[in-house]
Amino acid sequence: MPDLGPPPGPVSRLRAHRARYGVYLLGCLLFSTGAAFFIRSDLGTDPLDVFALGLLKHVPLTIGIAQSLVAAVCILVWSAWNRRRPVISPFITFFLCGSVIDVLRAVDAAGRVPVPDAARMLIGVALCTYGSALIIMSGTGIRAMDLIAITMTHRWNWPFWVSKGCLELLLLVSGYLLGGPVGVGTLCFLVFVDTLIQPCMWLNHRFFSLRNHGLEERPAPRPATEPTAVRP
């Protein structure tokens, strides 16, 4: 047998996947910037924050801890459903995006853009949508709720936007019943972000030849064939 050499080390793996990591980091940056614009518009929070803020009215937690608990539950559900070990990469994305959002809010980056709050909110929605699409396509550090949505898409043959929308709607309704704030921005986030992520992934593949590592189409099952005759 030919000598295949030693298995690739961390540096070799990094070089092999640097394009995916680049797409991932760009996705995190765009999503974080969009979130900063969305928050600065003060026209409503996203469904996850509606749930977190509603939960805080009944349990002495912080927003970060409440969101982390939601992420942990999603990861445990994904792990049990797919019979795989829990992953920690969504928490890396959570920490990275949260840190960038904190920096952008500290310098009031979104407030320096001279546009009305409604336009600022729409810019935030667009950036969150495209950033989410890039993170999923990278197949790296996919957000915990998106992991569940991808599993629902594969298991039940649902469109991704339906799976994602159902999860976001569940958070929104639960948060609202707990007393969380709901505004026009919340509804725009639910309608536009969840429905436009998949079209953005298609456009990236169509015009930029980006491979969708996170939501690749699974091959259709082969049709049943007639059993071969057994020779006497």
**pLDDT tens digits for 53-89?**
899 889 888 878 888 899 999 999 999 999 999 999 9
Q: Which of 105-114, 119-128, 137-146, 213-222 has the lowest mean pLDDT?
A: 213-222
Grade residue 45 by pLDDT with cuts at 50, 70 and 90. confident
What mean pLDDT do residues 99-126 have? 92
The DSSP code sequence of 89-153 is: HHHHHHHHHHHHHHHHHHTTTGGGS-S-HHHHHHHHHHHHHHHHHHHHHHTSS--HHHHHHHHHH
What mean pLDDT do residues 198-204 have? 92
Distance CA 143, CA 74 (A): 9
Q: Which of 48-62, 78-92, 137-151, 214-228 has the lowest mean pLDDT?
A: 214-228
Using CA atoms of 30, 127, 96, 199 in order, give the dihedral in degrees to the nearest 10: -100
Predicted TM-score (pTM) of the model is: 0.83
- C-alpha separations of 70 from 66, 90, 94, 130, 189 in Å: 6, 12, 11, 23, 18
Q: What are phi and psi of 3, to 5 degrees?
A: -80, 115
**pLDDT tens digits for 17-34?**
788 999 999 999 999 999
**pLDDT tens digits for 86-102?**
999 999 998 888 889 88
pLDDT for residue 184 is more than 50? yes
pLDDT for residue 215 is more than 90? no
pLDDT value of position 222: 46
